[in-house]
Amino acid sequence: MKSLLILLIKMYWMVIPPAKRRKCIFRTSCSKYVYERTINDGFISGLKAFKYRFKNCRSGAYIIENLSGEIQIILPNQQVLNETEVSERFIKNKK
């Protein structure tokens, strides 16, 4: 099953050119994140990573600048992530 998930991600990368892919709110793209988790931690971990990213890398996330000037993101599940996990394109737009 691990090989199947890896194959599906590689096919996605081959079929959909980077310019046509949806822009990810995370610094590490969703497909790369799921791929790495699957390779390093196995199929179940890859599926959990996919589920987490699918639920949280959609509309409903808010980019904010906190009182200390750090960029953060509030995900749809209300989890707050720091600047190191936010896509660089959002950080550039805020500064």
Distances (CA, A) of 18 to 15, 69, 74, 80: 10, 31, 25, 27
Which residue has tokens 């995900």? Answer: 75
Domain residue ranges in the chain: 2-94
pLDDT digits (tens, 9 = 90+) for 70-90: 888 899 999 999 988 888 887
Q: Please give the model's pTM, rounded to 2 decimal places.
A: 0.82
Whether 94 and 65 have beta carbons less than 8 Å apart is answered as yes
pLDDT digits (tens, 9 = 90+) for 43-71: 999 999 999 999 888 778 888 888 888 88
